[in-house]
Structure 1
């Protein structure tokens, strides 16, 4: 039965009424949208990309409009101005944050935070201002060709029910194939392997999420200020570790967002899923070690491959049942590539919680918006909210 609940609350889309679109919940989620900052990280490749354009066009249809839409952008100096003009052409309360602006690099270097960059750092730069603009923060990627504005309301729905953390999950079936490869072939079998050897609540928590590596999540502003973001592709796993500590099983939920179609990465190389797996592995294993799990690294890779092989057999059967094409040899090749990523985590280079940050959110906006004459517009809530009191 698809009513099954995991260890965390699981909100299903059963069909008919859309989550958050009918009755009292519709009113609550509409009110929540007006107090929400949406964060959509982008890089230069998203400039005028059809998927990114769909995301922004869908956000335009939200009624009421969100309190703010912050777009942390990583782009070269000659790309940022046309990118900014394109983003600001949408009828949205857009705040473009140029994450690698010279003043941002200086701001971070001055306090010893300039070591490394990536998606996690970009999102972190936006989280501080985002928590000032609204009561809630929704984060999602810009590469979903099937994106709908209703996803914002669905992610917010648990927060209106007094949960603190909400994670999206969805099917990744495109072109008659199974996708979500890094989650299916790396995260899931690795967690299964570790759970067989360790009785740890954090493993139960991490295993409860149906798509733990999805980029879509929502948090209260208070929780947003508690997140210690990894700098790159470990963001999703690192967020789950912090959510486990701060929200726990009772304060966390996951929400069915239907079926997504994404742009895809190659497997091989540092810029492909192989490179991403190293960063995900490092952050996942750091999350576990910090919470009392002591993996046997000498045998973990071999045991992961055995678990992964069982997953491949199951995926093959599932694909055949649904008439999908399935290349088991290719999937096993990915297992071998990802196994090389399993190693003790290196130095901790996470960014600080915003409640402990060495500068203010307004400092980020000022540094990240050099086109603003006389500095950026003020934070809407800064005068009426004592951020220190929220924690």
Structure 2
């Protein structure tokens, strides 16, 4: 336990903090995929939200057409003002195409679609549904800064489970990459801001609806990093806070594979490097991979000592292999495919909701495939 302040305001939990917060004026966005269906973690999240009584819950759903009917029926069983937004139907796809917004799908796209509906409330909270240790107090903690002088808040937490350290993509990729960039650009306030978040890749954040409406979003795994960068532009360092959510138990991903940490590192790295360039950071792409690798190796030595101090197991050689793998993902970010802010797009959230509902009804009746089908 500690009480150190970072470059952004840091609100600590010195016990089981459950501060007063305007939950009755907040929309909670909980993105889900088919793997969350009737799962214990998602059941816990939704049951806790029932006791919280938020103004609105929006679930952007990414799932095949044949799973939509059962998924919606399961979600309707919770005593919540809940709206399911199926993101993969042909009508939704057509609306986005007509607006010039078609492109890669992923978590960021799903969240972006849901945010349009969430903007009807004064505050918006976004968090994942795979948290086995979820508490309704997380929403209160995320909202508290918004009612007390801040416009954006980010959650952070410890990733220590099963006697070992997790949070590998943050510990071994994001954090040393930001450090390497900052070492080469020590005067960058933007990089100091990005380095101050204790778990920048957490999926939990909250903001006023005015701020949410101004945020462009990454389409895929770069969502969390891109959101932090967009929040910097919207509220500045002094308008942002991070809040302690305690200890989280999450699902864990393999390093390799189509949805593994290696693939995620490419999206995260691209989002970070694009944001850095946009904020005047000079990036030497020839030198950066080696600078990152050296920094990552130094972090591994420190994590090994930290693990030993706490009696945790630690696979030093495995973590070194991960650093070498992640170094290969460092490259210029490529084309900008971000979705625009809802304030700057000619698309009605109500039209999206109507299209998603019609798509879902057809899917439940077996009359439609998803947009790829």
Distance in 2, Cα, partners of 1:256 & 1:305: 29
Tell me, yes or no, if structure 1 residue 146 matches structure 2 residue 145: no
Tell me, yes or no, if structure 1 residue 235 matches structure 2 residue 237: no
Partner of 1:338: 326
Q: Which runs of 5+ in 1 are unaligned?
A: 21-25, 374-391
Partner of 1:113: 101
Partner of 1:18: 17
Contact kept, 8 Å, 2:69 with 2:360, in 1: the verdict is: no
Partner of 1:377: none
Aligned-pair distance for 1:371? 6.6
Higher RCO, Cα 8 Å, sep 6+: 2
Partner of 2:162: 175
Distance in 1, Cα, partners of 2:54 & 2:49: 8
Partner of 1:184: 171
Deviations 1:54-85 (A, max 9, x none): 111111111xx111100000011100000000
Q: Give the 4+ runs in structure 1 shifted more than 3 A.
A: none
Distance in 1, Cα, partners of 2:277 & 2:17: 40
Q: Which runs of 5+ in 2 are unaligned?
A: 362-373
Tell me, yes or no, if structure 1 residue 86 matches structure 2 residue 85: no
Using structure 2 for the length normalisation, give the TM-score. Answer: 0.95
Partner of 2:23: 33
Distance in 1, Cα, partners of 2:206 & 2:299: 30
Contact kept, 8 Å, 1:128 with 1:224, in 2: the verdict is: no
Partner of 2:349: 361
Deviations 1:138-173 (A, max 9, x none): 000011100001100000000010200000000000
Partner of 2:244: 256
1:298 counterpart SS class: coil
Partner of 1:315: 303
Contact kept, 8 Å, 2:154 with 2:206, in 1: the verdict is: yes
**What is the alpha-carbon root mean square deviation over aligned residues?**
1.1
Contact kept, 8 Å, 2:216 with 2:339, in 1: the verdict is: yes
Distance in 2, Cα, partners of 1:371 & 1:120: 20
Partner of 1:99: 87
2:290 counterpart SS class: helix
Contact kept, 8 Å, 1:169 with 1:257, in 2: the verdict is: yes
Using structure 1 for the length normalisation, give the TM-score. Answer: 0.91
